[in-house]
């Protein structure tokens, strides 16, 4: 659906207002006068209907996505590499948690990429339909990350890892997506894969305190014991857990 189509519906208009409200309270950009030397990138609206398991509409979601493909290296982005967790690390941590009988929490970060802080100067046109009437020719100078930007995953990784280090975690040398906290004999492990986070450890009091601490910094939900992450279903058994890619396998066959 294009902005032109969506603009005719009140539901989508509300959804776009909500997204702008989020971006505004996040101080994502400030309006600045344009200058010919700026590389001003475009943006577009992406519309998605999120549904509950029973098919009922859960949310009309409008997301403002930056045209990352018009960014220029060295001008408005520098590094884009963001570490990807190794499958072995995940299986290793799960095996340890299962053997010690620890609960494996899954945390869901809302709008994860919007948390990234930009190091580069990035300029973007004002979003379609929501141009400031007083400053119509101004452009957005981005301070925080947007979905679509080349550095978005990296900026988010940096933001989360800096916060984790500030509250006492240490980054693993063997896998940079694994963070370890040792506190009065308690051991806590955190695995991050973009906006999927697994958290487990020997002391549930410390664990819950950490979740509260994370919630004070990020909009984040504790989904409780892990059931589904990275497309893998997790089921408990008498002896441990089963990891299943049942749905994923069926999707390949079809």
Partner 1 sequence: MTSCKPVDTPLSASSKLRLIPGTLYSDPTRYRQIVEALQYLTFTRPNICYAVNKVCQFMHAPTKDHWSAIKRILRYLQATATYSLHITRDSSLSLHGFTDADWAGSIDDRKSTSGYLVYLGSTPISWKSGKQRIVARSSTEAEYKALADGTAEILWIRSLLTELRVPSSTVTTLWCDNLRATFLFTNPVFHAHTKHVEIDYHFVRDRVTKQEIQVRFISSKDQLTDVLTKPLPPVSFAYFRSKLRVESPPSA
Chain residues that interact with partner 1, rule: CB under 8 A: 87-89, 91-96, 98-99, 101, 170, 172-175, 178, 180, 182, 187, 189, 230-232, 235, 237, 239-246, 248-254
Nearest approach, Cβ of residue 248 and partner 1 (Å): 7
CB of residue 18 vs partner 1: minimum separation in angstroms?
Answer: 34
Which is nearer to partner 1, 128 or 202 (by Cβ)? 202
- The DSSP code sequence of 80-135 is -------HHHHHHHHHHHHHHT--EEEEEETTGGGGPEEEEEEEEPPPTT---SSS
Euclidean distance between CA atoms 242 and 182, whole angstroms: 28
Nearest distance from C-beta of residue 199 to partner 1, angstroms: 14
In whole angstroms, what is the distance from residue 104 CA to residue 112 CA? 21
Q: Is 138 helix (H, G, I), strand (E, B) or coil?
A: coil
Name which of 221 and 235 has its Cβ closer to partner 1. Answer: 235
Q: How far is residue 87's CA from residue 73's CA, in Å, rounded to a whole number?
A: 31
CB of 88 to partner 1, least distance (A): 4
- Give me the residue label for tokens 């002391």: 203
Beta carbon nearer to partner 1, 84 or 117: 84
- By beta-carbon proximity to partner 1, the closer residue of 216 and 254 is 254
Please, are residues 188 and 210 in contact by the beta-carbon 8 Å criterion? yes
Is 72 or 88 the residue whose CB approaches partner 1 more closely?
A: 88
In angstroms, what is the minimal distance from the CB of 232 to partner 1? 6
Phi first, then psi, for residue 141 (nearest 5°) are: -95, 115
């Amino acid at each position: 659906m294009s902005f032109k189509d969506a603009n005719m519906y009140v539901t989508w208009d509300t959804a776009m207002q909500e997204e702008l409200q989020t971006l505004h309270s996040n101080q994502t950009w400030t309006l600045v006068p344009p200058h010919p030397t700026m590389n001003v990138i475009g943006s577009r609206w992406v519309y998605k209907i999120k549904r509950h398991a029973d098919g009922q509409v859960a949310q009309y979601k409008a997301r403002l996505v930056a045209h990352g493909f018009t960014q220029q290296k060295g001008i408005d982005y520098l590094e884009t590499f963001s570490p990807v967790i190794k499958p072995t690390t995940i299986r290793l941590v799960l095996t340890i948690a299962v053997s010690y009988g620890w609960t494996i929490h899954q945390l869901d970060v809302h709008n994860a990429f919007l948390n990234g802080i930009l190091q580069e100067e990035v300029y973007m046109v004002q979003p379609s339909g929501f141009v400031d009437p007083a400053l119509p020719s101004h452009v957005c100078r981005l301070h925080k990350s947007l979905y679509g930007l080349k550095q978005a995953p990296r900026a988010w990784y940096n933001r989360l890892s800096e916060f984790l280090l500030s509250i006492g975690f240490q980054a693993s040398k063997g896998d940079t997506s694994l963070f370890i906290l040792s506190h009065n004999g308690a051991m806590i492990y955190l695995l991050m894969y973009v906006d999927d986070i697994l958290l487990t450890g020997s002391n549930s009091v410390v664990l819950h305190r950490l979740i509260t601490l994370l919630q004070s910094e990020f909009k984040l939900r504790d989904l409780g014991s892990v059931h589904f992450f990275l497309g893998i279903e997790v089921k408990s058994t008498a002896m441990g857990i089963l990891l299943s890619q049942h749905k994923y396998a069926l999707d390949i066959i079809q």
